[in-house]
């Protein structure tokens, strides 16, 4: 009897242990189960758009931008924008490297090089493309950059390029200063390389990948994130509640989507090109290589008999080309007066009593860094933000000036950004009261170069809507758009941040913001026309000219 009782006790003990194990297991499962699980077919409906949802991808890339719903007007605008940036294609069929454009064998000629030129005249240049066998090209689609310059005068301006689509290109320059003016033309990418860039943009939006860290207590996981995530693994849906901007991360194995703490650039995909395609991207062969003249490469420009200064006193016109030029290392806009803020007191007097918001990437962060360094009373307040990431804030208590910088929302290739600091510009604008003492500057372009243009159009559409609403409630708010700029290119950078990508995005941005009350600082022409080497982050002399143009909108000269 005692033996039967002992066996019963052992049995009960084992059952109790088993019950505890089952209970702990179920508790763990419940702790890490997301209540917001939705299917991939209905995530876009209003009730399902959440900051921390879990969904399953389809076998194809799960791309939120492809599932957006556009109004008829938005659809028509998007089709118009895409048509405007459509690029000429080479003949169908595979083209060998030897048939691609060779800048060393190509040349240009100045039309009427011995003619009489005076300031204000047009100069025409004809560029003739040849392949590596020395044969004339019969089709267009090459991406060129061109400028005129006078090194001794530190003067420069960009040209307007027309593709004749038969291997010939015409470049038109407006002669804006007297003296010996030289012409420079460069091949940025041959037409054959452009087709590769097009393919990558449409088929490999994942070639820059991102990551997020998830943490609970001492346990953490890191997963990949992007606008598009291939495969059929569960994902966290971080689509923004208000703008509908799509963003996804693969779901951690054990943690919930709500446990995300940070965002960061993951890296760059390798092996994107075939061996033959890689021949179109060679630094010393066909990336940003000069095309030389077969004759004279400069003209003598005479001054005008008189200068009509009133011609500058007119409304801002974004279609003027070029928008300005350098003379003695100072940018002279053709669309608005630029005042020189050479002394820190000049900047202080201009910004006194104002709040300045800078939104965007590292190229507008340069404005924050320049102003904070140049104006002694403008002191940076330590917010404990990661270096080069932000947000940043500088304060001048004596003159009541507040200067703020915040990076735009994903995609952004910064080092670690706290999840709580991932803000979309449109949402930030919605939280600004505005008024005559509010100044806003925005730039957004570089981090969108690896994605289909529809992703960029969507982002700009949201920002534009918020700008229009802000100006409607506070029409005296000043808003300035900093355009894209050119940069140094090599074989790898070209696949992710080519000037051609930036040029296309910049063209879209200018069209989308035309007709509304915003001003432009033409960083594109200001970087292309200057004599310094191209750089993603332009040198201080170029940034100073950008700041002068920006502040001239804040404090316009009374003429």
Segment-wise mean pLDDT, segments of 10 residues, the chain, 559 residues = 56 60 42 35 31 45 68 96 95 86 98 91 98 97 98 98 98 98 98 97 93 96 92 91 94 96 95 96 97 96 70 59 97 95 97 98 98 97 84 97 97 92 96 97 97 96 98 98 98 97 98 96 98 98 98 87
For tokens 């054990």, the residue is 254
Q: Please report, to the nearest 10 degrees, the dihedral formed by the alpha carbons of residues 344, 346, 348, 351 taken in order.
A: -140
Residue 226 DSSP label: E
DSSP H or E run through 156? strand 155-158
Q: Classify strands 155-158 and 234-237 as parallel, antiparallel or unpaired.
A: unpaired
Q: CA 311 to CA 309: how far, in whole Å? A: 5
Q: Phi/psi at 449 (nearest 5 deg)?
A: -70, -20
Listed residue (270, 291, 273, 93) closest to 189, CA to CA: 291
Listed residue (29, 55, 57) closest to 43, CA to CA: 55
Q: Full-prediction pTM beyond 0.85? A: yes
Q: CA 206 to CA 32: how far, in whole Å? A: 28
Residue 22 DSSP label: H
Residue 206 DSSP label: T
Structure tokens at 93: 């069929």
* 3-state secondary structure at position 290: strand
Query: Does residue 380 contact residue 393 with C-beta atoms inside 8 Å?
Result: yes
For tokens 């100006």, the residue is 471
Q: At what angle do helices 72-84 and 453-473 cross, to 10 degrees?
A: 120
Residue 520 DSSP label: E
Q: CA 293 to CA 289: how far, in whole Å? A: 13
Query: Does residue 256 contact residue 217 with C-beta atoms inside 8 Å?
Result: no
Q: CA 65 to CA 453: how far, in whole Å? A: 10
Q: CA 227 to CA 210: how far, in whole Å? A: 10
- 293-324 burial string, b = 16+ CB within 10 Å, else e? beeebbbebeeeeeeeeeeeeeeeebeeebbb
Structure tokens at 209: 């990948």
Q: CA 536 to CA 445: how far, in whole Å? A: 12
Q: CA 331 to CA 324: how far, in whole Å? A: 7
Handedness of CA 52, 57, 61, 64 (dihedral sign): negative
- Those residues with Cβ within 8 angstroms of residue 550's Cβ, 6 or more apart along the chain or in another chain: 367, 441, 480, 482, 521
454 CB burial (10 A radius; 0-12, 13-18, 19+): middle
Q: Domains for the chain: give ranges and CATH numbers.
A: 97-195+285-302 (2.60.40.10), 208-268 (no CATH), 338-554 (3.40.50.1110)
pLDDT of the residue at 273: 96
Query: Could you tell me which residues are beta bridge partners of residue 405?
Result: 358, 392
């Amino acid at each position: 009897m005692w033996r039967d009782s002992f066996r019963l006790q052992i049995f009960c003990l084992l059952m109790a242990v088993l019950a505890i194990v089952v209970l702990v297991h179920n508790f763990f499962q419940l702790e890490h189960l997301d209540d917001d699980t939705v299917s991939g077919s209905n995530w876009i409906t209003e009730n399902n758009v959440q900051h921390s949802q879990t969904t399953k991808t389809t076998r194809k890339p799960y791309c939120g931008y492809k599932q957006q719903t556009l109004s008829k007007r938005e659809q028509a605008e998007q089709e118009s924008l895409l048509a405007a940036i459509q690029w000429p294609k080479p003949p169908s069929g595979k083209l060998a490297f030897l048939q691609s454009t060779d800048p060393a064998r190509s040349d240009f000629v100045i039309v009427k090089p011995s003619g009489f030129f005076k300031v204000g005249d047009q100069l025409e240049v004809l560029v003739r493309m040849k392949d590596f066998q020395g044969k004339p090209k019969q089709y267009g689609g090459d991406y060129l950059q061109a400028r005129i310059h006078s090194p001794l005068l530190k003067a420069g301006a960009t040209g307007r390029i027309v593709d004749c689509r038969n291997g010939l290109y015409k470049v038109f320059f407006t002669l804006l200063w007297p003296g010996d003016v030289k012409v420079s033309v460069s091949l940025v990418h041959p037409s054959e390389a452009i087709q590769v860039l097009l393919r990558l943009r449409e088929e490999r939006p994942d070639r820059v990948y991102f990551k997020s860290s998830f943490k609970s207590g001492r346990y953490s996981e890191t997963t990949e994130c992007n606008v598009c995530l291939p495969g059929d693994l569960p994902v966290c849906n971080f689509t923004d509640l208000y703008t509908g901007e799509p963003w996804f991360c693969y779901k951690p194995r054990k943690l919930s989507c709500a446990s995300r703490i940070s965002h960061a650039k993951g890296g760059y995909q390798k092996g994107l090109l075939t061996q033959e395609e890689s021949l179109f991207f060679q630094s010393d062969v066909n990336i940003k290589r000069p095309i030389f003249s077969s004759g004279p490469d400069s003209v003598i420009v005479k001054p005008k008999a008189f200068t009509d200064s009133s011609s500058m006193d007119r409304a801002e016109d974004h279609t003027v080309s070029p928008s300005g030029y350098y003379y003695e290392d100072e940018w002279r806009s053709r669309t608005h007066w630029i005042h020189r803020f050479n002394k820190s007191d000049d900047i202080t007097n201009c910004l006194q009593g104002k709040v300045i918001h800078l939104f965007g990437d590292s190229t507008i962060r340069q404005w924050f860094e320049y102003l904070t360094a140049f104006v002694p009373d403008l002191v940076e307040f330590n917010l404990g933000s990661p270096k080069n990431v932000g947000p940043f804030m500088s304060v001048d208590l004596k003159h009541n000036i507040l200067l703020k910088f915040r990076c735009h929302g994903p995609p952004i290739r910064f080092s670690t950004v706290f999840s709580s600091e991932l803000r979309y510009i449109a949402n930030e604008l919605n939280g600004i009261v505005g008024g005559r003492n509010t100044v806003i500057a925005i730039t957004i372009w570089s981090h969108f170069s690896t994605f289909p243009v529809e992703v960029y159009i969507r982002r700009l559409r949201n920002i534009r809507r918020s700008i229009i609403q802000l100006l409607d409630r506070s029409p005296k708010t000043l808003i300035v758009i900093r355009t894209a700029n050119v940069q140094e290119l090599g074989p790898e950078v070209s696949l992710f941040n080519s000037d051609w990508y930036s040029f296309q995005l910049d063209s879209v941005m200018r069209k989308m913001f035309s007709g509304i009350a915003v001003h432009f600082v033409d960083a594109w022409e200001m970087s292309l026309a200057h004599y310094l080497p191209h750089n993603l982050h332009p040198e201080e002399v170029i940034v100073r000219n950008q700041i002068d143009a920006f502040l001239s909108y804040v404090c316009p000269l009374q003429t």
